[in-house]
């Protein structure tokens, strides 16, 4: 019986040691809302974002955008003209957004169907937390698909399905016409 209590005590201590540590006070979460965008070549896409802050207040200090070839910050790649630059800070336990964050220009001549995908480490927002030792950056991902609005060309299967449907309607009308004639 003593060994059983001793083993259970060791298991309880091991479980407590393996549990995750407490969350930090200033945990800021950031997401693009929505995370998928569509735009034509030569157009500007406005990326929207939502921030949710933990208990401590924060002050935004900047961002890093590692944009892929074919995309640039608009206008003229000047970060000082981006909507994000108007963000100052957030009080604790608040949500901000969705708000306009960045204007991204899709390069003229980008082929239809091109997809730009951004992983978490390619777009980062930096902030000063009120609690020392808290994380000071948050990252999010997004995707931009280029749709140039060219003519919609149906697939061969769709054309065949339409044709067989029309042939069936024609056969039904012909049968009805023959029955009325007789």
Query: Model's pTM, two decimal places?
Result: 0.60
Q: How much is the pLDDT for 121?
A: 65
Query: Rounded to a whole number, what is the distance in angstroms from the first to the last CA of the chain?
Result: 99
pLDDT band at 146 (very low <50, low <70, confident <90, very high): very high
Q: What percent of the chain has pLDDT over 90?
A: 13
Predicted pLDDT of residue 49: 87
**Which pLDDT score is estimated for 110?**
92
- Hey, how many other C-beta atoms are within 10 angstroms of the C-beta on 123? 23
Question: Greatest CA separation found in the chain?
Answer: 101
Q: Give the pLDDT of residue 133.
A: 65
CA distance 91 to 129: 11
Distance (Å, rounded) from C-alpha 179 to C-alpha 43? 59
What's the rounded mean pLDDT across residues 139-152? 82
Distances (CA, A) of 118 to 23, 35, 53, 88: 27, 10, 23, 25
Please say if the pLDDT value at position 120 is more than 60.
yes
Rounded CA gap, 48 and 70, in Å? 20
Of 28-32, 59-63, 90-94, the one with minimum mean pLDDT is: 59-63
Q: How far apart are CA 84 and CA 115, in angstroms?
A: 24
Question: ω into residue 75 within 30 of 0, thus cis?
Answer: yes
Respond yes or no on whether the N-terminal peptide bond of residue 101 is cis (omega within 30° of 0).
no
All domains in the chain, ordered by first residue: 25-146 (2.60.40.10)
Token representation of residue 35: 């995370």
- Rounded Cα–Cα distance for residues 172 and 94 (Å): 64
């Amino acid at each position: 019986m003593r060994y059983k209590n001793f083993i259970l005590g060791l298991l309880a201590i091991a479980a407590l040691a393996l549990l995750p540590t407490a969350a930090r006070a200033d945990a800021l979460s950031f997401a693009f809302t929505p995370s998928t965008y569509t735009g034509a070549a030569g157009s500007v896409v406005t990326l929207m974002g939502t921030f949710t802050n933990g208990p401590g207040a924060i002050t935004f200090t900047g961002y890093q955008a590692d944009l892929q070839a074919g995309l640039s910050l608009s206008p003229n790649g000047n970060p000082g003209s981006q909507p994000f630059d108007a963000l100052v800070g957030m009080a604790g336990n608040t949500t901000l957004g969705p708000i306009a964050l960045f204007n991204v220009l899709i390069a003229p001549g980008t082929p239809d169907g091109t997809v730009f995908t951004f992983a978490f480490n390619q777009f980062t927002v930096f902030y000063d937390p009120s609690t020392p030792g808290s994380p000071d950056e948050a990252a999010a991902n997004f995707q931009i698909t280029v749709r140039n609005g060219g003519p919609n060309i149906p697939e061969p299967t769709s054309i065949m399905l339409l044709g067989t449907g029309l042939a069936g309607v024609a056969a039904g009308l012909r049968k009805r016409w023959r029955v009325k004639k007789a």
